[in-house]
A and B are shown apart, each in its own frame.
Chain A
Amino acid sequence: MSGISRKRGFGAAQIILFLSIAILVVVVAVPVLLIFFNAFWVNGTFNVRDVLRIIGEPDTWQALVNSLIIAAGTTIGSTIVGTFFAWLVTRTDLPCRRFMKGMFMVPFMLPSFIGALAWKMLLSPRAGFINRFFMVHFGLSGPIFNIYSYAGIMLVEVMYLFPFVFIQVCGALERMDPTLEESARISGAGLFTITRKITIPLVLPSILSGALLIMLYSMAHFGTVAVLGIENGIFNIPTLIYQRIHQSAGSFASIRTGTVLATVLVVTAAFIIWLQGKILSKGHYQIIAGKSFRPMELKLRALRLPLFLFCTVWIGFTILLPTAVIFLVGGLKTYGLAFTWENLSLDNYKFILFRYRVTRDAIWNSVTLGLAAALITMFAGVMISWVIVKMKVRGKGILEFLGMLPFSVPGSVIALGVILAWSGKYGVNLYNTVWIILVAYIARYMAFSLRANSAALEQVHDSLVEAARVSGATMWQALKDIVLPLVRPGMLAAFFLIFLPALRELTVSIMLYAPTTRTIGVAIYTLNEDGETVMSAALAGIALIIIVTGQLLVDRFIGRKNAG
């Protein structure tokens, strides 16, 4: 009896393994390999000299350095901010903690390029509202802060990326078994020692995993640098690829240059992933172990009010102010007019929602694409993560690498890879349809899903599945009744991590859109690029409403399910 069920379980595992490999190969490996192929293979011969020449060019080198500087600054800043706030809302007696926690998740919803647009309106050197306010009222001759700078780009990225760390660390702190800390305290350890020896080592994998997400994201991030950097000649690799491809009017030579530049990023990312593996393998913790208590709270005492004020000001500056600016500018007749009643109206919003087919199409496309990509990727992700985390098979490192690969490839290059793979040369032609965007989204967001699901699966101790199997459950039963319920938070996290970014996605869709397949991001970006600042702000405002509504609906749905 046990022999049969064991055999059947092995069969299920085989199927899962095969499916996982098939999905990643078709969706991720083929496009990326085509990029490498096009980078190195010219007119039927292997060519490395050209590749080295392109990397050695001063522009390319500078862009690589910029990518690293911006990514490093953003990562350090976001990690500090994210960890600090996570600790504040989970482990201290900060007032309104639940509310604060919700608010700190909000920037995660806000598209960073909409944030960049808002901050451009607030802090552009001559016309920015804040800068002009200081110049007019305090007689300053120049701007107090120029957003078109490295510091400006990093600041905006930190504001909108720190939730990657925040969410991870909050989760880890909440899930952590408090008895570990309690035992240390009973054994006489002080708060500092407990934090250093127990808490930090336990949440370190989460911090690092969040930091790694930010590092990879920022390195390959297009929107903020495109909005704030290009004008002052600050390019990172993705914006340089974008510029190169447009400069040469998309000739094949420049598409090749793009693929070469992307190769540099892919290699760097592979290095970071390898490094992370090294760091994490030093200490491996399975920190969910059956029972749980409320962790102890630190009394902030005199710092309670100042820290509360600090959080409030932070929220005001990163969420309320940019949002208000977006909505106000969206109401203006034309950019540059003062915010007076006669200049403000709802005309732009009406035009965008009811009269302008481009924006109506865009909203519809983004919502359906986002849902489809999130659901497909969530299920594929949990399956592949299970192979990576729980199955003891050879070569699963390749799976992890494949899954994480799209993270390090700028969206524009994933888009190029997808064009190369799915435009009819190999039998399937999806070009200029929504399907090609969907395929690209799945490739791009698989890494999000793998991260979230692996993190959840890593904390499910093998003993739980073993116990079920010993009690006679088949592999499927053990998965369905034990593992799936435990990783559901991870799956939901994956859904959020994909659906909301996909809703306002820009980098991929801007390379793939056809007249009827614009996304919200494309519509906002192209309106902004066309100098229709007020229209793009109005659409951004509508996008924010859709995104927040979507988030609230999902929250409600989950809340009800947990209760029931």
Chain B
Amino acid sequence: MRSTRIAVALILGLTLILAGAQAAAAKERLIIYTSMKESLIGGIVEGFNKLHPDVAVDYQSAGAGKLMAKIAAERESGKVLADIIWTSEVPDFYSMKQEGILEKYETPLIKEILNPFDDYDGHFTAARLGTLGIAINTDLIKTPPAQWSDLFKPEYKGAFGIADPALSGTSYMSVALLEKQFGWEFFDKLRANEARIGKGSGQVVDDTASGELAASLAVDYITNDKIARGAHIALYYPPELLMAPSPIAIFKGSPNIEAAKKFVDYLLSEEAQTLIAGEGTLSVRTDVKNPPQFMLPDASDILNRAIKIDYIQMMASKEALIKKFTDTLQGRK
């Protein structure tokens, strides 16, 4: 029974390896849940590590909906793993604040940044101003869109995609903003032009690059990252601007509060904000300039141009809004 003995030894060995991996992971770590993609969060964490080599940082990058699901499951189990959350789904932050699971931290840097929240009280701080526009596949669409109503034109028929608002925070924000500005009629007309619901906010842009979609509702830095890698796409902003601030917050009861505060301050610093601007999305700092190749709207102008919405009201109607949107676009209402 040599094989049995080998197998038993293998099991023991593996168990030790797994246990070792766990022990290594048990060292103090800052854990960040974020909806920012690798291209954005990767560089920031790298920069933070250079400045604070004593703090190990792990991050989980996923859609805001998924992260909130994970947090809910973790709360159910008694402990939220993450120390920090950074997504673009603003109403989530209001509801987390209401439920009392966020640590209040009034960063000294608040005076230096553009603050889109009139009711700022330190529970969460905007760390990026995300914009969404229309990304087109330049092989398929020759005339750039100038108005949101251009999406009802025949060249977009069956080939315009919006990320699933249940998965993507930016998509949910956009749907709410567009509904606020244009009413449900807007989505009825999109349905009439056979617009499609994609999956995540990254996937609709990738589908646009591949030609599966001719155009999509696209997040700035995701699109700009693909353009930089040679994708045949371009991003255009109609006058009614979709802007979703990305707040960052610290969880109450985090064992690494001080490290978490350091990260928040680093994220708002000129260095990190320059990285953010360098990826093709808007910085919250007025002293950080947008690289010209991205053709982003002007940062100081953006708070005026953006469609306004009441985040606290949004909180209550989230599920209903997503359901109505899905039913409308899938023709099930």
How far is A375 from B6 in the complex, measured between Cα atoms in Å? Answer: 11
B18 touches A372 (CB 8 A): yes
Is B232 an interface residue, CB under 8 A from the partner?
yes
A433 and B202 contact, CB distance less than 8 A: no
Q: B14 touching A371 by the CB < 8 A rule? A: yes
Bound-state CA distance A243–B200 (Å) is 12
Interface residues on A, range: 35 or more
Q: Is B167's CB under 8 angstroms from A126's CB?
A: no
**When the two chains form their complex, are residues A127 and B211 in contact, meaning their CB atoms are under 8 A apart?**
yes
Is B240 positioned at the interface, with any CB of A under 8 Å from its CB? no
| B212–A334 CB distance below 8 A | no
The answer to whether A248 touches B319 (Cβ under 8 A) is yes
Query: A124 to B159, alpha carbons, bound, how many Å?
Result: 13
**CB of A183 within 8 Å of the partner chain:** no
State the CA gap A434–B69 with chains docked (Å): 19
Interface flags, A500-517, vs B, CB<8A=1, else 0 = 000000000001001110
Question: At the interface, yes or no: A295 with Cβ under 8 Å from chain B?
Answer: no
Give the contact stretch, choosing among A169-177, A276-284, A424-432, A548-556: A424-432
Q: Which 6 A-B pairs have the closest CB atoms?
A: A531-B202, A250-B69, A423-B77, A250-B72, A531-B206, A249-B68
Minimum CB–CB distance for A358 against chain B, Å: 8
With A372-B15, A423-B78 as known contacts, state yes or no: A336 contacts B211, CB within 8 Å: yes
- Checking A480, A484, A533 against B206 with a beta-carbon cut-off of 8 angstroms, the contacting residue is A533
1/0 per residue, CB under 8 A from B, across A371-391: the answer is 110011011000000000000
Per-position binary interface string of chain A over residues 415-445, scored 1 when its CB falls under 8 Å from any chain B CB and 0 otherwise: 0100100011100010111110010000000
B77 near A419: Cβ-Cβ < 8 Å: yes
A247 at the interface (CB under 8 A from B): yes
B32 to chain A, nearest CB (A): 8
Quick check: A231 and B199 within 8 Å, CB to CB?
A: yes
Task: Say if the beta carbon of B81 comes within 8 Å of chain A.
Answer: yes
Q: Which of chain B's residues have a CB closer than 8 A to the CB of A435?
A: 18, 22
With A432-B74, A526-B62 known as contacts, the answer to whether A480 contacts B68 (CB < 8 A) is no
Which B residues from 1 to 33 make CB contacts under 8 A with A? 1, 3, 7, 10-11, 14-15, 17-18, 21-22, 25, 31
Among B15, B222, B232, contact of A531 (Cβ-Cβ < 8 Å):
B222
Point out residues on A near B: beta carbons under 8 Å.
124-127, 132, 230-231, 233, 243, 245-252, 255, 333-337, 343, 356, 358, 364-365, 368-369, 371-372, 375-376, 378-379, 416, 419, 423-425, 429, 431-435, 438, 480, 484, 488, 511, 514-516, 526, 528-533, 561
The answer to whether B209 has its CB under 8 Å from any CB of chain A is yes
> Which residues of B have CB within 8 Å of A526?
61-62
Known: A251-B72, A529-B202, A532-B38. 8 other contacts (CB 8 A): A248-B319, A249-B318, A250-B72, A250-B73, A333-B229, A336-B210, A337-B231, A434-B18
Residue numbers of B with Cβ under 8 A of A are 1, 3, 7, 10-11, 14-15, 17-18, 21-22, 25, 31, 37-38, 58-63, 65-66, 68-74, 76-79, 81, 92, 137, 159, 166-167, 196-207, 209-213, 222, 226, 229-232, 318-319, 322-323, 330
A230 vs B203: C-alpha distance when bound (angstroms): 13
The answer for the CA separation of A385 and B39 in the assembled complex, in Å, is 50
Residue of A nearest to B21 (CB): A434
Given contacts A126-B211, A371-B10, contact A531 B68 (CB under 8 A): no
How far in angstroms is the closest Cβ of chain B from A444? Answer: 17
B18 to chain A: which residues have CB within 8 Å? 368-369, 372, 434-435, 438
Contact B203 A247 (CB under 8 A): no
Jot down 14 A-B pairs with beta carbons below 8 A, ordered by A.
A127-B211, A245-B69, A247-B319, A248-B319, A250-B70, A252-B76, A334-B231, A335-B209, A364-B21, A372-B18, A433-B25, A515-B81, A532-B37, A532-B38
| Given A231-B199, A335-B231, A336-B232, A530 contacting B38 (CB threshold 8 A) | yes
Chain A residue with Cβ nearest B197 = A231
> Which chain A residues border B203 with CB–CB below 8 Å?
528-531
User: Which residues does chain A contribute within 8 Å of B200, judged by CB atoms?
Assistant: 529-531
With the chains together, A376 CA to B211 CA distance in Å?
A: 47
The residue from A249, A375, A425, A561 contacting B11, defined by CB atoms under 8 A apart: A375
Chain B hits for A372, CB < 8 A: 11, 14-15, 18
Q: Using Cβ atoms and an 8 Å threshold, which residues of chain A touch B76?
A: 252, 255, 419, 423
Cα A126 to Cα B194 with chains together (Å): 14
Q: List the A side residues contacting B63 at CB < 8 Å.
A: 246, 529
B202, A249: Cβ atoms under 8 Å?
Answer: no
Contact between B231 and A532 (Cβ–Cβ < 8 Å)? no
B212 touches A375 (CB 8 A): no
Whether the pair B230, A246 counts as a contact (CB closer than 8 A) is no
Residues of A within 8 A of B229 (CB): 333-334
Contacts A334-B231, A337-B230; A530 near B210 (Cβ below 8 A): no
A529 cross-chain contacts in B, Cβ below 8 A? 63, 167, 199-200, 202-203
Q: Which residues of B contact A528 (CB under 8 A)?
A: 203
Inter-chain contacts of B61 with A (CB < 8 A)? 526, 530
Taking CB as reference atom, which chain A residue is nearest B65? A246
Distance between A302 CB and nearest chain B CB, rounded to angstroms: 45
Give Cα A126–Cα B210 distance, bound, in whole angstroms: 9
Do A333 and B166 touch across chains, with their CB atoms under 8 A apart? no
CA distance in complex: A14, B63 (Å) = 51
The distance in angstroms between the C-alpha atoms of A530 and B323, with both chains bound, is 22
A21–B241 Cα gap in the complex (Å)? Answer: 62
Chain A proximity of B166: nearest CB distance (Å):
4
A246/B69 contact (C-beta < 8 A), A336-B232, A337-B231, A530-B200 known:
yes
Nearest residue (CB) in A for B62 is A526
Return the contact of A255 from the options B15, B25, B73, B210 (Cβ within 8 A): B73
Nearest chain A CB to B72 CB, angstrom units: 3
Whether the Cβ atoms of B319 and A126 lie closer than 8 Å is: no
Q: A336-B211, A419-B73, A531-B200 are in contact. Are A376 and B78 (CB under 8 A)?
A: no
State the Cβ distance, B280 to closest chain A Cβ, in Å.
14
Chain A residues whose CB sits within 8 angstroms of the CB of B222 once the complex forms: 531
Cα A335 to Cα B58 with chains together (Å): 28
Nearest B residue to A513, CB-CB: B60
User: Are B71 and A246 within 8 A (Cβ)?
Assistant: no
Chain B residues contacting A333 (CB-CB under 8 Å) are: 229-230
Residue on A with the closest CB to B200? A529
The CA of A343 and the CA of B66, in the complex, are separated in Å by 33
With A371-B14, A425-B77, A431-B77 in contact, do A531 and B201 touch (Cβ < 8 Å)?
yes
Instruction: List B contacts of A337 (CB < 8 A).
Output: 230-232
Across-interface contacts of B14 in A (CB, < 8 A): 368, 371-372, 375
